[in-house]
A and B are shown apart, each in its own frame.
Chain A
Amino acid sequence: MSMRQEQLPDLTDDMFQPADIDSSKNEEIAGESTGFWKDAWRRLRKNLGAIIGIVIIVVLSLLAIFGPMMNEYSYHEQDLMRAKLPAKVPGLENVGFLGLNGVDIRGVDQYEAKGVDEYFWFGTDEFGRDQWTRVWQGTRISLFIALAAAFIDFVIGVAYGGISAFYGGRVDNILQRIIEVLVGIPNLILIILFILIFEPGILSIILALAVTGWIGMARIVRGQVLKLKNQEFVLASRTLGASDGRVIGRHLIPNVLGQIIITTMFTIPNAIFFEAFLSFIGLGIRPPEASLGSIINNGFSSLQIYPHLVLYPSIVISLLMIAFNLVGDGLRDAFDPKLRK
């Protein structure tokens, strides 16, 4: 037995007098009070990936709103005289390796060849429409579809899953069997049928995505509520005489909300991707309207000669997907109670 006791100072009698211990201090809690949301935000702020994701989403959203207004071209204005021009950006045109100087892959300056004086920042498509305007117009539509679909998923999923778990028993049994039937049908077939019956367009795509999209949310909410509804704090509330409404509103929803937000964050990129996929196989937005998927689809046919037609919309869609996933991951870490001290 040895002790770390270097050198004892002189011990005076006075030091052995009873100490004044403030007994009320025993129960004191140091530090500032932190609620769940404040705590989560503190954690999210420290997550570099999530912050990058948020910045990307904000920038792309602003561009989707204001991008089309940043030049004088509209998304449907055609001019075959200036078709298929590569990207050319004032200022950056002199930086060779960026490839923003209007020179195509064969080394011909198309702007000079076609006698065009204007600058097209992302180039033009086969009808001479400004690609910059179309890409941001498409982003706007893609984001709108994704957000609307996610919102519908959220509303139906939370209500369905919540009711199923909260009332349990027979109600739960019936609602879960319905879900199983829906899951049994391949959702691609369901969506294609849906779009064939209705006119292809923004609304029908949103509805098609929502037909089966809410199932994931409903299952997550059901699982959470099932777990929570027998927790002792819910039982305590019941023994105090709380109504169903109070139990749901005060105890269940606030505790499931974190999960719901995370799930929504992952639904959005899925919806963006699915919309792009539908447009890509020709079931999406009708021209001259454009979504990111349909723009990529148009450019895909001449990928080898005019790569810029695919490159820019692809970058945007990839950034969106990555950003939403980063934010979703960050939120999951921030909300995860296992990491709480």
Chain B
Amino acid sequence: MVSVMANEKLLEIKNLKQHFKVGKSVVKAVDGLTFDIYKGETFGLVGESGCGKSTTGRTIIRLYDATDGEVIFDGENVHGKKNAKELKKFNRKMQMIFQDPYASLNPRMTVADIIAEGIDIHGLAKNKEERMARVHELLETVGLNKEHANRYPHEFSGGQRQRIGIARALAVDPEFIIADEPISALDVSIQAQVVNLMKKLQREKGLTYLFIAHDLSMVKYISDRIGVMYQGEIVELADSDELYADPLHPYTQSLLSAIPLPDPEYERSRTRKLYDSEDYAPKSGEKRVLREVKKGHWVACTEEEYEQFMATV
């Protein structure tokens, strides 16, 4: 996946905020995110549950209206639009793959109707034959076959369902796909099927992915660049190899040192780093901001820490 096309920005996220009112208090699920996603790359967003990574994905695709900030897709601000026609155009360009293979397919619809939903909404098929031909083609793309079209979701296994979800997203020929923990509900052997399929589709169709997950080893494998989220903010952002080789933020370090790997010898010697956000809070009360310490490697740090980083690099 080195074929990142000349760093052309597909998606720019600027100071994105998503606050939810819960009773009288406000939960800042996403609090001031800024990052870019380049054409043809896979951007991994990792973090633990409750860090706001799924909310970020859903806000980008407009399932939630952002509290503040901009999402610029291909030069156009997604969140400013109100016109229904423009929205539909946007819906075709950006699609989503969901986490739960059991909840993401309507149990009362046949697989053909599920996959064809986008085709129906956007009128992409002239007649029934064309619609079915397209459905069959999509089923084959994701490794299923024609005979599956008239069956219902409950007859499929988790991995097969997830592939149906991918086919549904592909039906409208999107450029950008948000994958919201697409493999975390699947068995290990099936995870590889889905990841390989996603990689193959990326090669063939030049897709751009935002891959949201908590499984760091899989994210490392599939992503070109990774952003680490903690409490609604990105604390570190770098190329995936760079992030794993030289994590700078203590939270990233603790996260990486906590992953168990399928290698008993490594496991016997692995030592874990601890992270406590209260201990790490800057004494001066200064807010940490993302700063570029190496080319393409951004860390949330204070002015003073920034200078220290620059001195060691």
Residue from the list B107, B148, B168 in contact with A29, Cβ < 8 A: B148
CA–CA, A232 to B101, complex, Å?
9
A335 to chain B, nearest CB (A): 11
Q: Which of B10-18, B87-95, B130-138, B266-274 contacts A (4 or more CB under 8 A)?
A: B87-95
Residues of B within 8 A of A12 (CB): none
**Could you list 27 A-B pairs, sorted by A, with CB under 8 Å?**
A27-B143, A27-B144, A27-B145, A27-B148, A27-B160, A33-B150, A33-B155, A35-B108, A35-B110, A36-B108, A232-B104, A233-B106, A235-B63, A235-B98, A237-B117, A239-B61, A239-B62, A239-B95, A239-B96, A240-B91, A240-B168, A241-B91, A250-B109, A254-B109, A255-B107, A337-B107, A340-B154
B203 at the interface (CB under 8 A from A): no
Q: How many A-B residue pairs have CB under 8 A?
A: 87
Does A240 contact B152, Cβ atoms closer than 8 Å? no
Does A251 contact B122, Cβ atoms closer than 8 Å? no
Number of interface residues of A (CB under 8 A): 26
A238 at the interface (CB under 8 A from B): yes
Residue from the list A231, A233, A241 in contact with B88, Cβ < 8 A: A241
Does A240 contact B104, Cβ atoms closer than 8 Å? no
CA–CA, A340 to B108, complex, Å?
13
Interface of A is mostly: helix
CA–CA, A235 to B180, complex, Å?
12
B151 at the interface (CB under 8 A from A): yes
CA–CA, A240 to B106, complex, Å?
14
Which residues of B are interface residues toward A (Cβ below 8 A)? 58, 61-63, 87-88, 91-92, 94-96, 98-100, 103-110, 114, 117-118, 121-122, 143-145, 147-148, 150-152, 154-156, 160, 165, 168-169, 172
CB contact under 8 A between A29 and B61, given known A232-B98, A240-B91:
no
CA–CA, A232 to B179, complex, Å?
13
A24 at the interface (CB under 8 A from B): yes
A34 at the interface (CB under 8 A from B): yes
A242 at the interface (CB under 8 A from B): yes
CA–CA, A321 to B121, complex, Å?
46
- B151 nearest CB neighbor, chain A only: A33
Does A232 contact B100, Cβ atoms closer than 8 Å? yes
Residue from the list B114, B121, B151, B155 in contact with A242, Cβ < 8 A: B121
Residues of A within 8 A of B145 (CB): 24, 27
Residues of A within 8 A of B150 (CB): 33
Chain A CB within 10 A, most for which of B109, B114, B145: B109
A204 to chain B, nearest CB (A): 39
Does B104 contact A29, Cβ atoms closer than 8 Å? no
Residues of A within 8 A of B106 (CB): 233, 237, 250-251, 254-255
Residues of B within 8 A of A28 (CB): 147
CA–CA, A28 to B103, complex, Å?
22
B54 to chain A, nearest CB (A): 11
Residues of A within 8 A of B92 (CB): 241
| Given A240-B122, A241-B118, 19 further pairs, Cβ under 8 A | A24-B145, A29-B148, A29-B156, A34-B155, A35-B110, A36-B152, A232-B99, A235-B63, A235-B96, A237-B117, A239-B63, A239-B94, A239-B96, A240-B95, A240-B117, A240-B121, A240-B168, A337-B107, A340-B154
CA–CA, A340 to B153, complex, Å?
12
Residues of B within 8 A of A231 (CB): 103-104
- A341 nearest CB neighbor, chain B only: B154
A303 at the interface (CB under 8 A from B): no
A169 to chain B, nearest CB (A): 11
- A246 nearest CB neighbor, chain B only: B121
CB contact list, A60-91 vs B, under 8 A: none
Residues of B within 8 A of A237 (CB): 106, 117
CA–CA, A240 to B63, complex, Å?
11
Residue from the list A34, A233, A250 in contact with B152, Cβ < 8 A: A34
Does B155 contact A29, Cβ atoms closer than 8 Å? yes
CA–CA, A175 to B104, complex, Å?
30
CA–CA, A254 to B169, complex, Å?
22
A192 at the interface (CB under 8 A from B): no
- A240 nearest CB neighbor, chain B only: B118
- B111 nearest CB neighbor, chain A only: A33
Q: Mark A217-256, 1 if CB is under 8 A from B, else 0.
A: 0000000000000011101111111100010001100110
CB contact under 8 A between A236 and B96, given known A33-B152, A255-B106, A337-B107:
yes
B132 to chain A, nearest CB (A): 16
